[in-house]
Structure 1
């Protein structure tokens, strides 16, 4: 048996212990795998980041919408819904139609704050029709108020045309001097185009009827002084 030389054994040992070579194709495949993983992570991050932003924006818009609605509802809720009209014949309590006639109610509330109705006289009383209070004569001719056979009976009445409804004549513009108070004492559908109904009498129908029974002249003006002493706004009865 031939002896192996020490130098040959050393060379064989180096060959066995030396690192194995990695092929280029393996390196390329590994890099591609790493790139795909990184790209997938970036795409996922962008997707969830955009989704989170959209969710936050939606929630923010929803909160703003809810806050706006809440503020509007709170404003409507806070407005007085009733009023005590103290007259020289007694007290009349009315409910205000805040939703059905918001503009008229807003003007009425504003004028109450300015004491517009304090001392306002009832200057027109038409039996079986209405009582009217104001600082100036209405632009509606008396003949139109008293044309009982003109349209009555041919029109269907609705709740806002029944007796003891609170209203004001329709006027051009927002002249506060023209804002008068009317309380109907009978259904008057023929005045639909001339009246804005913004409330109804809850208590004090007998007071309205007492005002209706006062003596008047040929122009339907009361012969004795009768008017509104004050108006007190109320949120609850």
Structure 2
């Protein structure tokens, strides 16, 4: 067998491929990827693990904040309104639990002197006194007929005399005031009650006694001088 010379062995050894080596940068990169994946999975686990206990607590805080906001609104709403008329003063207790939109609008209009000099447009004995700029001629007849027809029905507190309300109509851009002078069984179908007279019932009755024409309009003008708001009497 022919002998291979040492020089040829050296040449052959150089021609053989040496095993490839993984660089340090590749190792570091893969380790970083593994660490990031593990951290992401851990963060996801913590989020979903704590979510059921965390969300009800947040909902509770939200509910408490809403309740506090509603309570603060009620506290900021005046308790009383004093209506000055040519016959004297009428003290009104404001129902804070009534329609929030109606109460807020009434308070806002009082502060802007909207009712200053507003006349009583219609005075219907044993029924209502109405102040404002709305046509009440046809409705007055209907109200009287319905009130007499259903006079035997049971009355709720809102159907009593000396209640304060405004027209129940989404189309009304203004604001009118009704003061009932007798129990009205179908009152809820006509007006939104937002208060009651607690002082000055005799003044309401004096206004009720003034002379009116066939359309229930006072022959001698009488109206609201102004309405002022008060927290305490």
Per the normalisation by structure 2, the TM-score is 0.72
Question: Does the CA-based 8 Å contact 1:164-1:184 persist in structure 2?
Answer: yes
Q: Secondary structure of the residue that 2:116 maps to in structure 1? A: coil
Residues 1:228 and 1:49: Cα distance change in structure 2 (over 3 Å): closer
Which residue of the partner structure matches residue 224 of structure 2?
A: 228
- Please give the root-mean-square deviation of Cα atoms over the aligned residues, in Å: 2.5
Residues 1:78 and 1:140: Cα distance change in structure 2 (over 3 Å): farther
- Write out aligned runs for 1:200-211 (5 A): 200-211=196-207
Question: Does the CA-based 8 Å contact 2:147-2:184 persist in structure 1?
Answer: no
**Alpha-carbon distance between aligned partners in 2 of 1:231 and 1:116, rounded to the nearest angstrom:** 9
Q: Which of 101, 109, 124 is residue 126 of structure 1 equivalent to?
A: 124
Structure 2: give runs of 5+ residues left out of the alignment. 1-44
**Alpha-carbon distance between aligned partners in 2 of 1:128 and 1:57, rounded to the nearest angstrom:** 57
Residues 1:173 and 1:233: Cα distance change in structure 2 (over 3 Å): same
Q: Secondary structure of the residue that 1:198 maps to in structure 2? A: strand
- Deviation track 1:106-163 (CA, whole Å, cap 9, x = no partner) reads 2211221222211110111111111111123237533113226642323211100100
- Write out aligned runs for 1:1-237 (5 A): 59-138=57-136, 140-147=138-145, 150-176=148-174, 179-237=175-233
Structure 1: give runs of 5+ residues left out of the alignment. 1-46
Residues 1:113 and 1:48: Cα distance change in structure 2 (over 3 Å): same
- Deviation track 1:60-116 (CA, whole Å, cap 9, x = no partner) reads 543343223112211122111210111111101111112132222122112212222
Rg larger in structure: 1
Residues 1:63 and 1:226: Cα distance change in structure 2 (over 3 Å): same
Per the normalisation by structure 1, the TM-score is 0.70
- Deviation track 1:40-68 (CA, whole Å, cap 9, x = no partner) reads xxxxxxx9999888766655543343223
**Alpha-carbon distance between aligned partners in 2 of 1:76 and 1:142, rounded to the nearest angstrom:** 34
- Deviation track 1:25-52 (CA, whole Å, cap 9, x = no partner) reads xxxxxxxxxxxxxxxxxxxxxx999988
Residues 1:142 and 1:63: Cα distance change in structure 2 (over 3 Å): closer
